[in-house]
A and B are shown apart, each in its own frame.
Chain A
Amino acid sequence: DAGVTQSPTHLIKTRGQQVTLRCSPKSGHDTVSWYQQALGQGPQFIFQYYEEEERQRGNFPDRFSGHQFPNYSSELNVNALLLGDSALYLCASSRRGWETQYFGPGTRLLVL
């Protein structure tokens, strides 16, 4: 049983560019959450998707957007990249109403 997978593992972009990160949830999970983890910090909640809709959002600007597909996989899009967007982006999946979020290995984004 595959766990949560994310792609790519690493990414380098320049300021002003746009990036798309991808996540496939654990088998049987229908909810995907995205987190940003800056160096030396704990993860910060970006948003959560369930039934292809954004259900909850953390304190992140509209430059951060997402999508969930019918097979429950998800994308995180970041527009107009800033240097401060450099971080590890973590995807977590869960079953709606269940308690445990399972995390993927993350995508490390570097913005130059």
Chain B
Amino acid sequence: AQSVTQPDIHITVSEGASLELRCNYSYGATPYLFWYVQSPGQGLQLLLKYFSGDTLVQGIKGFEAEFKRSQSSFNLRKPSVHWSDAAEYFCAVGVSGGGADGLTFGKGTHLIIQP
């Protein structure tokens, strides 16, 4: 069965600084990978997804992520964070396209933005 590890429970970043959130997955074949963001008391919003092709994917709100097969990683990056980026970030893996399968989520990384 597939699994997702987000090693950082909390990350604190100064506003305007760069950000990288780590995600490692375990799955025997090429997975479908997603990053979602959750604001307090809200549902999940999709930031970006990787299915195949270019390993660097662009998402909404200036986020990007890079798929590295050799490291089983799919880290999320943003060059300059804004106070509104403070939220919980979840990495997820699907094994048959995401639309026809349940997703497996990591435990999340809580992002705190310092002024």
Contacts and interface: CB of A to CB of B under 8 A. Distances in A.
Given A94-B98, A105-B42, A99 B103 contact: no
A87 to B, nearest CB: 13
B90 interface: yes
Contacts of B97: 97-99
A31 B98 CA distance: 11
A33 B102 contact: yes
Chain B residues touching A, range:
20 to 34
Given A42-B90, A43-B90, A104 B43 contact: yes
- Which of B42, B44, B104, B108 has the most chain A CB within a 10 Å cutoff? B44
A43 B49 CA distance: 17
A45 B49 contact: no
A44 interface: yes
Contact of B101 (A56, A104, A106): A56
A96 interface: yes
B18 interface: no
Contacts, number: 76
B43 A48 contact: no
Interface string B1-35: 00010000000000000000000000000001000
Contacts of A16: none
B99 A42 contact: no
- Which of A45, A101, A102 has the most chain B CB within a 10 Å cutoff? A101
Contacts of A100: 46, 49, 98-99
B73 to A, nearest CB: 17
A48 B96 CA distance: 13
Interface string B85-106: 0000010101001111111111
A96 B99 contact: yes
A21 interface: no
11 contacts: A33-B103, A42-B106, A42-B108, A48-B102, A56-B101, A95-B99, A101-B98, A101-B99, A103-B43, A105-B42, A106-B43
Top 3 closest A-B pairs, CB basis? A45-B102, A42-B105, A98-B99
